[in-house]
């Protein structure tokens, strides 16, 4: 016989009139190799078909299933129940808009982030279907791939003090995203243009450097390094802008 697991799960469906936030208890018997993906589906299918949560890939690569697991943000699909105590507390991620129960709207948040930071390649070149690709060093390609790996799960945002108090803060994921374009030779934006996007309190300078984000990124992006890199770049760019401003005045 496996352990008896006691789940305490946040319940609230804002679309049901009269529904109120509460914690609900469920019990399941654990078995070998059980993940929170399996456990939550078991609860839905055997105990309570109204329970809302999100899974897509169930392989820790799509970023859908982040939630607060015993107080820490993490991906439910890759969390083995065996690594948790027998009392398991599940809450939706903070910061993001609640859809219902454990399901939050990370999609809208991240789309806004892309648009605000204009996270696409800015170039004046036209695509020429006849031409070969522009050459790039493999090292450069690998360096771009590293921050590009972010799966937009929102764990860094949920654990960030700044993001929890300022709803316009880009979060580590946003700053990481900008850093990805900063090093891409195909993007023609100048440092001054990037400064417009992240050189502010909502961006690189809002971060207080406590590194909860770095500790909680499920794919272990080197966020600390990335934040420092973008901040340094922006500080330099900011300095240049100030000097330019002084010259004019």
Partner 1 sequence: MSAKNAYICDVLVVGAGLAAERSAVEAAEAGLNVIILSLVPPRRSHSTAAQGGMQASLGNAALAKGDNPKIHFEDTVKGSDWGCDQEVAKMFCETVPIMIRQLDYWGVPWNRVTAGKKKLPSGIEVEDTKDKEGLITARDFGGVAKWRCCYTSDGTGHTVQFVVDTVVCKLGIPVHDRMEAIAIIHDGETCYGVVARCLRTGELNVYLAKSTVIATGGAGRIYAASTNAVINEGTGAAIALNTGLVPLGNMEAVQFHPTGMPPVFILMTEGARGDGGYLLDKNLHRFMPDYEPKKKELASRDVVSRRMIQHIRAGYGVQSKYAPQHLWLDIRHLGRQWVWTNLREIATIAGNFNGLDPAKDLVPVVPTQHYTMGGVRTNKWGYAYGLKGLFAIGEAACWDLHGFNRLGGNSLAETVTAGYIVGKQIVKYTLGATQDFNYKLVEDFVKQEEERIKNLISGKNGKEDVFEIRDAMQQTMMDHVHIFRTGPSLEQGVAKLQELYRRSLKIGLHSSGQGANPELAQALRMPGMLRTALCVAYGGLMRTESRGSHFREDYPKRDDANWLKRTLAYWKEGADLPTLDYEPVACPIMPPGDRGYGEATAGPKGK
Nearer to partner 1 (CB atom), residue 17 or residue 245: 17
From the CB of 201, what's the least distance to partner 1, in Å?
Answer: 24
**Residue in 9, 38, 68, 75 binding ligand FES, rule: CB under 6 A:** 75
Q: Smallest distance, Å, CB 189 to partner 1?
A: 13
How far is residue 97's CA from residue 102's CA, in Å, rounded to a whole number?
A: 11
Quote the least distance from Cβ 89 to ligand FES, whole Å: 19
Tokens of 64: 């859908």
**Rounded distance between C-alpha atoms, residue 78 and residue 200, angstroms:** 35
Beta carbons of 34 and 7 less than 8 angstroms apart: no
* 47 contributes a contact to ligand SF4 by CB under 6 A: no
Are residues 77 and 40 in contact, defined by beta-carbon separation less than 8 angstroms? Answer: no
State the binding partner of 155 from partner 1, ligand FES, ligand SF4, none, CB within 5 to 8 A by kind. ligand SF4
From 42-50, 52-60, 114-122, 172-180, span contacting ligand FES (CB under 6 A): 52-60
Q: Is 154 in the site for ligand SF4 (CB under 6 A)?
A: yes
Residue 54 Cβ, how far from ligand FES at the closest point, in Å?
7
The residue among 77 and 88 lying less far from ligand FES, judged by its C-beta, is: 77
**Is residue 155 part of the contact set for ligand SF4 (CB under 6 A)?**
yes
Which of the residues 131 through 150 are near ligand SF4 (CB under 6 A)? 150
Residues that bind ligand FES (CB under 6 A): 55-58, 60-65, 75, 77
């Amino acid at each position: 016989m496996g352990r008896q697991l006691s789940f305490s799960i946040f319940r609230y469906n804002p679309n049901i009139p009269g529904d109120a936030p509460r914690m609900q208890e469920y019990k399941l018997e654990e078995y070998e190799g059980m993940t929170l993906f399996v456990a939550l589906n078991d609860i839905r299918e055997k105990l309570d078909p109204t329970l809302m949560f999100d899974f897509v890939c169930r392989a820790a690569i799509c970023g859908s299933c982040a939630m607060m697991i015993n107080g820490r943000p993490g991906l439910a699909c890759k969390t083995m129940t065996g690594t948790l105590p027998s009392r398991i507390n599940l809450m939706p991620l903070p910061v993001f808009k609640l859809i219902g129960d454990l399901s939050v709207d990370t999609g809208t948040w991240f789309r806004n982030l892309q648009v605000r930071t204009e996270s696409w390649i800015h170039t004046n070149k036209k695509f020429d279907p006849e031409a070969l690709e522009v050459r790039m060093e493999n090292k450069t390609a690998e360096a771009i791939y590293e921050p590009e790996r972010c799966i937009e799960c929102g764990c860094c945002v949920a654990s960030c003090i700044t993001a929890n108090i300022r709803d316009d803060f880009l979060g580590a994921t946003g700053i990481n995203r900008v850093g990805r374009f900063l090093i891409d030779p195909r993007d023609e934006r100048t440092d001054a243009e990037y400064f417009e996007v992240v050189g502010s309190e909502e961006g690189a300078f809002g971060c207080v450097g406590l590194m909860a984000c770095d500790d909680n990124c499920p794919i272990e992006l080197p966020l600390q390094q990335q934040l420092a890199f973008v901040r340094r770049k922006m500080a330099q760019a900011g300095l240049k802008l100030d000097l330019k401003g002084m010259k004019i005045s």
